[in-house]
Every structure is written in C-alpha cells, then in structure tokens.
Structure 1
Amino acid sequence: MAAPLKELPPKPTVSDIIKSSKPAEWRQLDPANTLYMDLPAGRVIIELAPAFAPNHIANIRTMATEGYWDGLWIYRSQDNWVVQWGDPNEEKPKSLGTAKAKLEQEFTVPMKNDTQFTRMPDKDGYAPQVGHSNGFPAARDPKTGQTWLAHCYGMVGVARGNESDSGNGGTLYAVIGNSPRHLDRNITVVGRVVSGMPLLSVLPRGPAPMGMFEKEENWVPIKSVKLAADVPEAERSKFEVMRTDSASFKAVTEAQRNRGGPWTKYAAGHVDLCNVPIPVRETK
C-alpha cells in the first residue's frame, strides 16, 4: 500500500497577495480605452489595448461614440468557444456611420509598439516568448520583431471572413472556453473583458452550426455600448487592474506556478500563460 503523499509547505495564495499588495501596484482603467456594453442583465466592461491594434480600436471608438451597437444583438454563443455580437442582418446591415468599413489586419504589431512587456520564464507551445503587457496576456517573436495578444479566456477579438482584411471591429467576440491559442496571429485581438464575463459565459448555447441562434427571439439585445469617456463620471464603473509589471503580480504568477498548502501534493513548476489570473477589483 502506497504511503500517503505529504502536503507541500503553505504558500501565499492569490487572495493573500491581493490583500497585501500596495496601492501603487494597481492602475485605474483609462476611460478612453474602456467600453461599457450594457445588456438587460447588467454591464460588461471591456478594456481595449491600443498598442496592439491601434487602427481597429480607433474604429471601435468611433462606432461606440456614434452608437453603432445600440439596439444590436448577441447572436452567437458557441460552447467552449466564443460569444459574438454585432449586426447579424447581412441583407440590410446597419450603417457604420463614419467608421471605416475595411481595415488592414492587425494580427501582430512591431515589438517596439509594446514597451511594457514582462516576460514569463515558462515555455510556450505557440510563441518563443510569452508574458504580460499592461494587463494583457501577450506573446512575441524576437526573430520577426512582432508581438500580439494571446487568445486567453475573456479576450475580445474582431470577427472576420476568409479575407484577412474583412474585419473592421463592428462584429466582436469574447472567448468563453478553453483558450484557443491556435487563433493567435490569425485574428485581430483588441482587448479583454475585465468585468461581466458571467453575463456572457452563462448564455444558452446556440443550436445552429457555430453556436448561432436560429430564431431572432433568442438574440440577446444590446442596450448600448459606450466609451467610459463618454459616460458622466458619476455613472462610470470604478475598477482597478493589478499592474503586470509589479512585484505582487510576479508573486501571483509564482503562486500559480508552484502551488502549496494542505491540498496540493505536487507543484507543477510551470504555468501556462492563460492560467495566470490578472487581478481586477472594484473600487468606490
């Protein structure tokens, strides 16, 4: 009979690290880079990453300011994949206003665009280097000089057709399942959901191919999508994100890499990029 496995020494948990973190290790969301998508069930908050997709995000800002998504729908919910929103009416689509209908893809951008990358030592199967940049999971290839955002849970990307330049930001999706990293460098990624993921992840799955809702009555109406900068300050949601170049975030990563405590019997000594939580907290 095998001997009982010994428990590992206790180590700080992510909750412990958050509690002991310093105020300077947190940053407030920039209203110019924050989207509020208000649904009947509540608010989804998306932080945009202009360093990685400047042209698409400029277009998204224009659409939000002009109310493009107001009255449109979430019309796709695919199990272990994505939730997608925009205009499903291909025959009579809603006007984009002054937003651009076509943009060159921004699957990757020059590494010089990203000055806040903090590399993880862990090996990755999809990129030579991975880490975090200003609150976003990122990857890079020094040989090509290119960097990109990774398709982790909650990341938001620009839907497109077969042509690489067929996405303009009008149709967006959020990852609600296991991280589909094979999409990296194939789709323009513009940000991540920092609050409200349960409003998306618990939606019923669409019965049609690719998780589409066949019937219009099953579409989820979007009340509005606005830039936080266009919302009166008193009505803004107050959130902070832990700085991913901080000592506390380094400790968060290590807490995931080498877990301890009475339950854990084996510490992996490794953590996947998408398994590192990026702490977010609501403030008063």
Structure 2
Amino acid sequence: MKKFLAFAAAAALSAGVAVAQDQEGPSPEELLERAPDRAWRTIDPENILVIDLPSGPVLVEMRPDFAPKHVERIKTLSRQGFYNNTIFHRVIDGFMAQGGDPTGTGKGGSDYPNLQGRFVTAREELSEYVPIGRDDRASDIGFLGTMPVASQTPSMKEFLKTEEVGAWPMHCPGVLSMARAGDPNSANSQFFIMFGDNRRGLDQQYTAWGRVIDGERNVRRINRGEPPERPTPILRARIMADLPPEEQKTVEALRAESETFKAWLRANRLITDDGFLVDSCSVHVPVRIDGEIG
C-alpha cells in the first residue's frame, strides 16, 4: 500500500495539484492508532470470504447489498467445497487472476443456473454508501464498506428519465468480480481478482462483489500465465462465520464517514483541498484484525 500512496503523492505534486495535508499534524499511522473505537466498523463474519492460497490466506469483504445473488452464489459454492483445489487458470500480470472453474479450462461452471448481471444500481438502494470526493472519471467517488464505488451526483436526478442516480463498483486492485462469457447474464462460478486499475474497460460491464482486505501480498504471488505453467490452486475457500472458533478473527474497517478517515486521506496526500482524489484506486480503507492494524 505504501507504494500506492507514494505514487499518488508524486503524481499530484508533479501535476502541480494542491494536495491537502497537515505537515505538523499526526502521521497516517498515528491517526489510525489514535482512532476512537466508534471510528471502526466490525465486518460481519458472514460476509468475509477466506481464500487459502499456498502463500497464505486472503480475506475478502463481500457486499451483498450491491450484488446479493452473486454473493449468495459464492457463499453456497464455498460452503460446498466447490472451489477447493481449483486453480487460477488465467492470470495476466497487471490485470487480473481468474479462477473458480472446476475443469481448470475456463469453460466450466457449477450446476446452478447462470446469474443475471448486476452492473449498476440506484444509489438510493445503497444505504451504506459514503461519498468522499471526485476524480477525473466520476463526479462522485466513495465507498461501500471497503469496496470503491463511483456514482453520479444526486443533483443529476432532475436530468434522468428514471430519476434514479446510478452507482457502480470500480475495478481497482484487490476488487473481486464475476467472470462471464459474451452474454452479460452468463456469470456462474468463475471470478477474478484485480491486480491493476481497469475501471475504463470493466466498470459497468462485470459484476463486482467484494474487495481484498487482507492478504494482498498472497494475491500478488499467484503464478502468471494463460494458463500458467504451474497454476496456483485455491486450497480452500470458506466463510469466516463457519470457521472453528479458534480460527475466527475479528475484522474491523475504518468507517469512511469518520473524521479519522478524512484526516487519514489528507495525511497521505490522497485528496486535494477541494475534494479531488488524485488516484481513487490507490485508496484502501484501513483494516485492523484482532485489534492489530494491517
């Protein structure tokens, strides 16, 4: 994450952008350490997917409030052991790692029917969406939990036929989305994990349903190739709520609406004085696990 922050700050300075900062204030790390308990949100263990890779575990916050059917499918298949010992069969450096096919060929799926795509939804339906700024691609950028989301501004309502302001997850690094064929309603069991920023090519075209909140380093160690010479397997995929008590962890995320998060953004030079996000995809909501900040 530090590399992302350094890149964002450098990009802003080179572009002559006035980045919000407080040189005499506390560091980003100090802000998180001092954050009151009310600034943290406990993530429901029912909505945490645990993917065990050879390099270690990956924790994903799933967002059923945006993609209820897709999250339900992931939970069902994980609980059935469907993903265990499947491989990442298509892995493109700087782009994404695709898996979830029991045949390992990219042509397989589960016995369940395909899912209807969920690409954009009415912002009003996302009660936990928190706007934090804007960037050069969207007039409104915010978070649904830890998932980055772009949106039209509420003021657009008077210009829209449906009077529903649209919102959609952004395909940033660490975001998980459903793979599909040419038919937009052909998602089934396969999914991919983003390595890079591909908002321009994937947003509003694929159903994103979660984001990695711990274990990014383990994701980066997935072997590349189409297919890889030595495909990386998913050893197990489980739901945190189902783990034995001794394996369960308390996972908390910083509330995007909190003053601590706003101050953290400014301290990291990720947002300008007038609310412009220098690099939206580099903003990862801070997380702490069993009281320890990652």
TM over 0.5: yes
Change in Cα spacing, 1:193 to 1:121, as seen in structure 2 (3 Å) is closer
The CA RMSD measured in Å over matched residues stands at 2.7
Shift of 1:135: 2.4
Shift of 1:54: 0.9
Whole-Å Cα distance in 2 between the matches of residues 172 and 271 of structure 1? 29
Whole-Å Cα distance in 1 between the matches of residues 243 and 84 of structure 2? 14
Contact 2:146 2:211 survives alignment (8 Å): no
Match of 1:240 among 252, 270, 284: 252
Q: What residue number does 1:124 align with?
A: 136
Q: Give the letter for the 1:162 counterpart.
A: G
Q: What residue number does 1:78 align with?
A: 92
Whole-Å Cα distance in 2 between the matches of residues 242 and 63 of structure 1? 29
Change in Cα spacing, 1:55 to 1:281, as seen in structure 2 (3 Å) is same
Q: What residue number does 1:204 align with?
A: 223
Q: Give the letter for the 2:280 counterpart.
A: L
Whole-Å Cα distance in 2 between the matches of residues 86 and 239 of structure 1? 25
Contact 2:88 2:104 survives alignment (8 Å): no
Contact 2:89 2:104 survives alignment (8 Å): no
Change in Cα spacing, 1:237 to 1:76, as seen in structure 2 (3 Å) is farther
Q: Give the letter for the 1:123 counterpart.
A: D
Cα deviation code 1:74-123 (max 9, x no counterpart): 222211111121126278977735xx331110011221221122222333
Alignment of structure 1 residues 37-116 onto 2, 5 Å: 37-87=51-101, 89=103, 96=110, 100-116=112-128
Q: How many equivalent residue pairs? A: 260
Q: What residue number does 2:284 align with?
A: 277
SS of the counterpart of 1:84? strand
Q: What residue number does 1:263 align with?
A: none
Contact 2:81 2:236 survives alignment (8 Å): yes
Q: Give the letter for the 1:204 counterpart.
A: N
Whole-Å Cα distance in 2 between the matches of residues 94 and 189 of structure 1? 20
Match of 1:137 among 148, 151, 158: 148
SS of the counterpart of 1:235? coil
Q: What residue number does 2:199 align with?
A: 181
Paired-residue identity, %: 29
Shift of 1:176: 1.3
Higher Rg of the two aligned structures: 1
Q: Give the letter for the 1:167 counterpart.
A: A
Give the alignment's TM-score, normalised by structure 1. Answer: 0.82
Match of 2:174 among 135, 154, 158: 154
Match of 1:22 among 36, 58, 61: 36
Contact 2:97 2:193 survives alignment (8 Å): yes
Give the alignment's TM-score, normalised by structure 2. Answer: 0.80
Contact 2:270 2:279 survives alignment (8 Å): no
Q: Which runs of 5+ in 1 are unaligned?
A: 1-7, 260-267
SS of the counterpart of 1:245? coil
Shift of 1:190: 0.4
